[in-house]
A and B are shown apart, each in its own frame.
Chain A
Amino acid sequence: MADYREMWKELGMDVETHDDLCAVLPQAIGDVFLSQKNRPEKMDYFDFVIAEVHGVRPAELKKFREEGGKVFGTFCTYVPDEIIFAAGGISTGLCAGSQFWVPGGEQVLPPNVCPLIKASVGARLTRTCPFFRLADIYIGETTCDGKKKAYEILGEDVPMYIMDLPQMKRPEDVDKWAGEIKKLLVKAEEVTGNKVTVAALKENIHMINEKRKALMRLYKLRQNPVVPISGTDVLLISQIAYYDDPTRFTQKVNELCDELDERVANGVSVVPEGNKRILVSGTPMAVPNWKMHNIIETSGATVVCEETCTGTRYFENLVDESGETLDELIHALAERYMKINCACFTPNSGRIDDIRRLAKDYKADGIIDIHLKFCTTYDVEEYFVEREMKKDGTPFLEIETDYTDSDTQQLKTRVEAFIEMLS
């Protein structure tokens, strides 16, 4: 119950309105996480981080800034954290996942914009999230139209820097992305006042690779017939990955994996035998959006993998660490990041290959493709995902939803029916 109100005031937050969020989060965390049975002990760290979500990490960032450090807010898995850390800055994710912020976004955005964008803009403009206050500069990117245009609005309230993400994956597009990463490096140097050296970039590429490896290890454990950890818990870890200190996060994930190794060896599962294994694919689930995982895992199934930005898209593929010049390292970064398969690219058949591979590796009984309302790119692409998965004979369910609870009962019916269908 540490009193963070002074800090929030100092950050220029609307503490009174923010109180409404503080009022509901503890119960939500109790309902979604603490009500689960037989959780791994080492989830304690992640429970701590989420219990302190607007406290302990913001306090760290605040201290970092007071000592002259610069904080970069990001919105997308394509933005390379390595550059920001190599320039001596800290990168922190800013995507917002609660209906709490949506009305604030709707004051300036049309209603038919996806809730992630509305909530992110709302969190800034209503001054009700410390992370949005702590970032000295926001790094946007040209992924979807909604975000691109929303960044213009955000740019009136906070310094914004936009990376021009290609929308195709030809070799020249990878080169172009390398050029954009180089421009980000120059910008990061300008903001922090530090020069990025080859040694610093190598070191930070290694640091983020270690974080990816820890997440790969965690996901690999979910491929076992024994399910050592719930999908809901892993989703929380993936969300925390975006804003926690990378080195500490890596260490904590590895400690958890040590425990999960033991669980697998001893056949300790969090779900009864015969529970159906679900691969979730689709749009990112930002904190505190736990809606679909909670519905799926309270309907007799378990999520064994997420093909999302808060899942495999975040950590698959390592950056080649062997480069010896800035240009070589930047190109290695571009190559790794351009392997992420987001629906904003055309064509995006790599994503179909990913889903097909993940369904097999994680022994999924069915796929639930979930996209946020008004996300045109993922909504349209669903046509191919569904067709190709059905070709393979993999049961498939499409869900479109937002951050409200208004459709929970209907979604429950559909998910339960889907699980009955798998039985």
Chain B
Amino acid sequence: MYYIGIDIGSTASKVCVLPPEDGKPEEIMRCEVLPTGWSSKVTSASIKEKLEPYLNSDEGSKTVATGYGRISVDYADKVITEISCHARGGYELAGQNCSVIDIGGQDTKFISVRNGKAIDFLMNDKCAAGTGKFIEVMANRLGVDIADMFALAQEGHDNGSPVSISSLCTVFAESEVINYMGEGKDKEDLAAGIIQSVALKVATLVQRRELQDYVILTGGLSQSRFLASLLSNELNAEVHPMDNGRFAGALGAALLAKEKL
């Protein structure tokens, strides 16, 4: 039996396939990411094509879909929210009880995880500030891609001269950035200020809750050591970056397919 997790996020879709027996994370057969594009239905269909070998295999398969486009995966056996999937996947990646900070394309989540299950969660889903969307908008404004944005931000941070962005609203923050650009500030300092403001916004959300002893980052920005260190500073607790953090939702979905179906 193959266990398949599909996470259709607002920006990127992630797929995870566990091997037939005793799937352990280090043996994950296949993890893939592709842009969600304009339609989660289209994405879901193209994922189905890629998964044909597993879906049609004699072994059989069980599929769990998650993410904001989860209902578009009409071939899933079960639909589970991204909260439960990130909790399960995060637990697997952390190898212990933990707090998960998931910075997604459209929202930011904070999840307390015990034994692979969410015991509490918070979501910022009303506002782009403190989400991947904010960074994307700002990177566009600076004319760089996300990877360059983080590289620049690290530089600006190391130079000790990040600008201060006080507005928490994406639209107003963009005006602030434009003002700084007009003043001739360095790109590095702008980038550092932008990422710093994201860390601050995320920390403000997270501080409403008690942190577990171990804190991890998941979602599209989870491999960033820089963002993790900024968050660690704001929260006074070590936040661990995760190289496979963007797959936490898909991995969790695959594991739940195995455990719950």
Q: Do A and B bind each other?
A: yes
User: Closest CB of chain A to B175's CB: distance in Å?
Assistant: 20
Residues on B with beta carbons closer than 8 Å to the beta carbon of A322: none
Partner of B121, one of A407, A409, A410, A421: A421
State the majority secondary structure of interface residues on A: helix
In chain A, positions 396-417 with a C-beta closer than 8 Å to chain B are 407, 409-410, 413-414, 416-417
Contact B118 A420 (CB under 8 A): yes
Whether B81 contacts A416 by the Cβ 8 Å rule is yes
Chain B's closest residue to A401 (CB) is B126
Task: Report B96 CB to chain A, min CB distance, Å.
Answer: 19
B77 to chain A, nearest CB (A): 16
In contact, A417 and B81 (Cβ under 8 angstroms):
yes
How far is B83's CA from A193's CA once the two chains are assembled, in angstroms?
61
Does B81 lie within 8 Å of A420, measured CB to CB?
Answer: yes
Give every chain A residue within 8 A of B83 (Cβ-Cβ).
413-414, 417, 420-421
Collect the chain A residues with CB atoms within 8 Å of residue B120's CB: 421
CB pair A413–B126 under 8 Å, yes or no, is: no
Q: Is B121 a contact partner of A417 (Cβ separation < 8 A)?
A: yes
CA gap between A410 and B125 in the complex, in Å: 7
Interface residues of B in 106-136 (CB under 8 A from A): 107, 117-121, 123, 125-126
| Complex interface: chain A residues within 8 A of B107 (CB) | 410
Q: How far is the CB of B251 from chain A (nearest CB, A)?
A: 17
CA distance A160 to B39 in the complex (A): 52
B68/A417 in contact, CB under 8 A: no
Instruction: Find chain B residues with CB under 8 A from A407 CB.
Output: 125-126
Q: Assess whether A417 is in contact with B118, with CB atoms less than 8 Å apart.
A: yes
For A383, give the chain B residue with the smallest CB separation: B208
Bound Cα distance from A421 to B117, whole angstroms: 7
Q: Contacts of B81 on A, CB cut-off 8 Å?
A: 413, 416-417, 420
Q: Is B80 interfacial (CB-CB < 8 Å)?
A: yes
Is B84 among interface residues, defined by CB-CB distance under 8 A?
yes
With A420-B118, A421-B118 as known contacts, state yes or no: A410 contacts B123, CB within 8 Å: yes
Number of A-B contacts (CB under 8 A): 35
- The distance in angstroms between the C-alpha atoms of A421 and B83, with both chains bound, is 9
Q: Is B82 an interface residue (CB 8 A)?
A: yes
Count contacts on B: residues with CB < 8 A to the other chain. Answer: 15
CA distance A239 to B243 in the complex (A): 52
**Does B68 contact A421, Cβ atoms closer than 8 Å?**
no
Q: How far is the CB of B194 from chain A (nearest CB, A)?
A: 24
**Are B84 and A417 closer than 8 Å at their CB atoms?**
yes
What residues of A have a CB within 8 angstroms of the CB of B123 in the complex? 410, 413-414
Does A409 contact B68, Cβ atoms closer than 8 Å? yes
With CB as the reference atom, state the residue of chain B lying closest to A406.
Answer: B126
Q: Contacts of A414 on B, CB cut-off 8 Å? A: 83, 123, 125
Q: How far is the CA of A413 from the CA of B82 in the complex (A)?
A: 8
Name B126's closest neighbour in chain A (CB-CB). A407
Taking CB atoms, residues of chain B closer than 8 Å to A409 are 68
From B106, which residue of chain A is reached at the shortest CB distance?
A410
How far, in angstroms, from A407 to B126 measured CA to CA in the complex?
8
Tell whether, in the assembled complex, residue B84 and residue A421 are in contact, meaning their CB atoms are under 8 Å apart: yes
Residues of B within 8 A of A416 (CB): 81
* Chain B 43-67 interface 0/1 with A at a Cβ cutoff of 8 Å (1 = within): 0000000000000000000000000
**Alpha-carbon distance between A417 and B83 when the two chains are bound, in angstroms:** 6
A192 to B80, CA, bound (A): 59
> Which of A407, A410, A413, A414 has the most B CB atoms < 10 Å from its CB?
A413
Q: How long is the Cα–Cα vector from A416 to B119 in the complex, in angstroms?
A: 14
CB-CB under 8 A from B117, the residues of chain A are: 421
B residues less than 8 Å from A417 (CB atoms): 81-84, 118, 121
Q: Please, which residue of chain B has its CB at the minimum distance from the CB of A413?
A: B81
Q: For window 225-252 of chain A, which residues contact chain B by CB distance below 8 Å?
A: none
Which residues from chain B contact A420 at a C-beta distance below 8 Å?
80-81, 83-84, 118
A410–B108 Cα gap in the complex (Å)? 12
Complex-state Cα separation, A416 to B83, whole angstroms: 9
A413 and B121 within 8 A (CB): no
A413 and B111 alpha carbons, distance in the complex (Å): 14
Contact A413 B68 (CB under 8 A): yes
List which B18-44 residues lie within 8 A (CB) of chain A: none
Q: A421: which B residues are within 8 A, CB to CB? A: 83-84, 117-121
Residues of A within 8 A of B (CB): 407, 409-410, 413-414, 416-417, 420-421
Listed A/B pairs (11) with beta-carbon separation below 8 Å: A410-B126, A413-B68, A414-B83, A414-B123, A417-B81, A417-B82, A417-B84, A421-B84, A421-B117, A421-B118, A421-B120
Closest 9 CB pairs of A and B: A417-B83, A417-B81, A410-B125, A420-B84, A416-B81, A421-B118, A413-B81, A414-B123, A420-B81
- Given A407-B125, A417-B81, A421-B84, output 9 extra A-B contacts at Cβ < 8 Å: A410-B125, A410-B126, A413-B68, A413-B82, A413-B83, A414-B125, A417-B83, A417-B84, A421-B121
